Structure 1
Amino acid sequence: MLADHLILFSRYPQPGTTKTRLIPHLGEVGAAQLQRQMTEQVLRQVRSLLNSADDNMLPTSVELWFSGGTVAQMAAWLGPSWALRPQPSGDLGDRLLMAVQQAIAAGAERVVIIGADCPSLDTQTLRRAFAALREQDLVLGPATDGGYYLIGLRQPSAVLSSPFLFTGIDWGTDRVFAQTTAIAQSLRLTIATLDPLTDIDTAADLPIWDAVRQQVLSIIIPTLNEADVLPQLLAALPPSGALEVIVADGGSQDDTRAIAQQYGAVVIQAEPGRACQMNAGAAAAIGKTLLFLHADTRLPEHFASLVQQTLAQAGVVLGAFDLSIDGALPGLRWVERGVRWRSRWLGLPYGDQALFLRAETFWQLGGFLAVPILEDLKLVQRAKRLGKVAIAPAAVSTSARRWETLGVLQTTLINQGVLLAAALGVPLGRITQFYRRSRSKK
């Protein structure tokens, strides 16, 4: 069977050149960030489609046709996984026609083209579009502004009809869908119509984007040379329409960034330092709920629903998980019990327990303080002044590498010494020096 082919039309998020109708409302940088985030959101839906189990409904190839920027800039942004193609000159009809014709020439039997302006477009809609083309000549996804967010054609009608479907259309008006449908009917094409969705083009459309963001959990992973542990972590966190994974890198010299992009994570370069990296990740996040995850920590099953259930409790402003240490050293179970007691009775979970909270709350607290150590404790302490800290009924699993390096007793004494020094008001710079010297002794 010949391949299905999916094409995404998008634009490089260069400030001042994209989402121009939203610049008066969001500013040039804000409009460009919206373009970036919506493109990434659509690509997560595409990845979810590619990773789904229903092989009969999968597009076997995907291309991203872009305007603005260069192939190198697009690859640096989105990684090497996507086939990138600059859009040719001409109006939208010319570009759509060329995309269809080139896909057909390459052997595609069914071609679907989408844009990056419709964040409500999900995996199920893409699957329905390809399924419709097994029975119908043309599939259209009508946009509420009178255009369309998706068009698909199948062979052999694609070869015969495509020159007409993209000619004589008043692009950018509320007549696009009606004109396209009328042409298709005059060509006697059978037509399938998907549910109407809204493109995000003006300030009036932004509540739709906000509603999409409400459904997204953004996981932020600060990294520095974590290539050895990232594959196992990211394999368990496949991005989807409801799950965004952001790797905030502090200048890795290994393959950390390339591995993260390979697994579909959003990769950003941040100023070194865990607090700065996590703040940068939060600033780039789509989700209205944030979860901060260490690269050597694994989340439990059903973590997303546990996060929402925990934050839905009355008065809860921040949550975390219990801690399980992946090791058999004598004493580790006592460490786990101590963490459980500290977290549940004192309300002081630490960063290796995957702290999570609403994005609004995070920024209300001022984010992580730009301190060299104990940034997690400082955040939790400030959150406790705002409301309750709750522990979800499941445990994350973290690597035992810290305890294996120096032993359980010495590691515990170092950690407690850091906390005692902080409680006594010792400057964090001196505490950091002590911590690093202590950790370097073997």
Structure 2
Amino acid sequence: MSAVTPLNTALIIFVRHPELGKVKTRLAKVIGDEKALQVYQLLLQHTRQVTLPLNCRKFIYYADGVPEHDSWNDPGYTKRQQFGDDLGQRMANAFGELFEQGFKTVLIIGSDCYQLRTAILDDAVASLNGHHAVIGPTFDGGYYLLGMNHFIPELFRDKAWSTDQVCQQTIKDLSDLSQTFLMLKQLHDVDQAADLDVNGIAI
């Protein structure tokens, strides 16, 4: 097994443009589009702050076109476009692209986890020295992080995306494939109005 080093580790960050009426739509149904946009901008800022110190290659994958100038213009971030018919295909394509590029370990996060910390990301990277995969579960049944030290395409197929089944389905796949994995601490995403209080977000 290859050692995990900054040179051969890639972090994928899936984001959307912070546009009114197009982000945090479930949250917006309760607090309105403008406040939902403020929440998403806060989440993007937090994601940038916790990933900036990481000593690895970072790739911002946009769901809706790659802008020339935005908050991800810092050195160390490379901008790319998501492609695929659903979330699973888009993630699989991003992982496959980076493994084909020569990276030995690849991880993905979104921009919805206000409880995410740099230390958690460091632990996730380090865990791939001794495990095939790493998962950061969320309390709503999904995951805030997924990483692996070789491409496992089965993890992106036949999943009930955006439901409380995704994490358990992913764990079952890893077990069925005899892949070793580490579970990180469980965190809260920000998707519903109740998540604002849990995360200490006042808008």
**TM over 0.5: same fold?**
yes
CA-atom RMSD, angstroms?
Answer: 1.7
Native 8 Å contact 1:14 1:69 kept in 2: no
Is the CA contact (8 Å cut-off) linking 1:71 and 1:86 kept in structure 2? no
Give the aligned partner of residue 175 of structure 2: 185
Is contact 2:84–2:93 with CA below 8 Å preserved after alignment? no
What CA distance in whole angstroms lies between the structure 1 residues aligned with 2:84 and 2:153?
16
Q: Secondary structure at the match of 2:91?
A: helix
Q: 2:193 aligns with which of 203, 226, 234?
A: 203
Seq. identity, %: 34
Distance in 1 (CA, whole Å) between partners of 2:30 and 2:132 is 40
Gaps in structure 1 of 5+ consecutive residues: 50-57, 214-285, 287-442
Map 1:15-414 onto structure 2 (within 5 A).
15-49=20-54, 58-59=55-56, 61-72=57-68, 75-79=69-73, 81=75, 82-155=77-150, 158=151, 162-210=152-200
Is 1:9 aligned to 2:3, yes or no? no
> How many equivalent pairs are there?
197
SS of residue paired to 2:32: helix
Normalized against structure 2, the TM-score is what? 0.91
Deviations 1:46-81 (A, max 9, x none): 1123xxxxxxxx32x100111235423xx2343353
Report the residue type matching 2:8 in the other structure: A
Q: Which residue identity is paired with 1:99?
A: A
Which gives a bigger RCO, structure 1 or 2 (Cα 8 Å, sep 6+)? 2
> How far does residue 27 in structure 1 lie from its aligned partner after superposition?
1.5
Mapped to 2, the partners of 1:17 and 1:108 lie a distance apart of 33
Deviations 1:12-64 (CA, angstroms, capped at 9, x unpaired): 11110110011123221211121111011011011123xxxxxxxx32x1001
Segments of 4+ in structure 1 off by > 3 A?
none
As a proportion of its length, which structure holds more helix? 1
d(CA) in 2 for partners of 1:203, 1:64: 26
How far apart in 2 are the matches of 1:78 and 1:36?
12
Q: CA deviation at 1:172?
A: 0.8
Give TM-score, length-normalised by structure 1: 0.43
